[in-house]
Amino acid sequence: MNERNIVYAMLYRQLKRYFRARSRVLGTIINPLMFFLFLGMGFSASMRGMSAAIGVDYLAFLAPGIAVMTAFSSSFIGGISVIWDKEFGFLKEVLVAPASRTYAIIGRALGDSITSALQSLLIIALMYVIVPSLRIEGLPFAIAICFITSLMFNSLGIAIASKMRSPEGFQLIVNVLIFPLIFLSGAFYPINNLPDVVKPIFYINPLTYSVDLTRYFMTGISSLPIYLSLSALLLLTSIFTLLSARVFNKSTLD
């Protein structure tokens, strides 16, 4: 099996698995949308001073953060499928197949990243209806950033899951990481006015650069230089993708 075929096969499998689970599709739309509406409506009045300072209303400010949160959470959690494939024997077939494991994991990550980006697309489309002030010309770029973010964190999820033996252990790690990464990314509030002692925490968070880029394309405002955010995002995605391939290549089954 050549490299292109194994990439396509794994990509198709992940897409097929996702679209067969209709409840999963519905759940990934409802949860972020409810988060956006309740959080946005709840804080809009109290954030009027901030809105005047940054130049957009709070709902417009929040929308990119929710879009990236959708891509991040679904792609990161998607790594658990590696553990399920261990349990049901599919991963063993991949590991012994006459095909590159690196290309197999790339195809898998691409498939999961596409589904996560599609979820973000649905959420973003609804947000453009709810918040007409969002920049329509930034939509394609916002989706691209969500896809890259999905690839980055799905790769990280795969790397972690490849070393885990149980879904519960993986879920524990995800639960420990997911909320700090989201809340320390600038998704819900601007980072420019934070104390200098706190800012380094945001700068070492990969999600910060995804949120900032998406917000720039959707609203025209950003907290960091665009070239810095884009360079950091591409570099970290490359590192995590290579890491997942390396860890997966060393995976063995008991």
Q: Residue 151 — very low, low, confident or very high, per pLDDT cuts 50/70/90?
A: very high
Contact 79, 157 (CB under 8 A): yes
Q: Is 70 inside any structural domain?
A: yes
Q: Is 254 inside any structural domain?
A: no
Q: What pLDDT does residue 253 have?
A: 47
How confident is the model over 162-176, as pLDDT tens digits? 887 777 888 888 888
Q: How far is 96 from 123, CA to CA, in rounded Å?
A: 39
Q: Is 28 inside any structural domain?
A: yes
Split into its structural domains, the chain has a count of 1
Q: Is 183 inside any structural domain?
A: yes
Q: CA triplet 191, 126, 153: central angle to 5 degrees? A: 55
In percent, how much of the chain has pLDDT > 90?
Answer: 33
Q: Cα dist. 78→87, 118, 123, 172 in Å?
A: 16, 14, 18, 14
Q: Residue 45 — very low, low, confident or very high, per pLDDT cuts 50/70/90?
A: low
How confident is the model over 75-132, as pLDDT tens digits? 888 777 777 777 666 666 666 666 677 788 888 889 889 999 999 999 999 899 988 8
Q: Is 9 inside any structural domain?
A: yes
Q: Residue 41 — very low, low, confident or very high, per pLDDT cuts 50/70/90?
A: confident
Contact 234, 210 (CB under 8 A): no
Q: CA triplet 113, 115, 119: central angle to 5 degrees? A: 115
Q: How far is 24 from 74, CA to CA, in rounded Å?
A: 10
Q: What pLDDT does residue 81 have?
A: 77
Q: Is 94 inside any structural domain?
A: yes
Q: Is 120 inside any structural domain?
A: yes
| Structural domain containing residue 30 | 3-249
Residue 88's contacts (CB-CB under 8 Å, 6 or more residues apart) are none
Q: How far is 73 from 175, CA to CA, in rounded Å?
A: 10
In degrees rounded to 5, what are phi and psi of residue 71?
Answer: -65, -45
Nearest residue to 123 via CA among 24, 220, 30: 30
Q: Residue 52 — very low, low, confident or very high, per pLDDT cuts 50/70/90?
A: low
Burial class of residue 228, CB neighbours in 10 A (0-12, 13-18, 19+):
middle
What mean pLDDT value characterizes the chain? Answer: 83
Quick one: angle between helices 167-183 and 206-219, nearest 10?
50
pLDDT at 156 over 70: yes
Comparing 210 with 40, the larger pLDDT belongs to 210
Q: How far is 226 from 68, CA to CA, in rounded Å?
A: 16
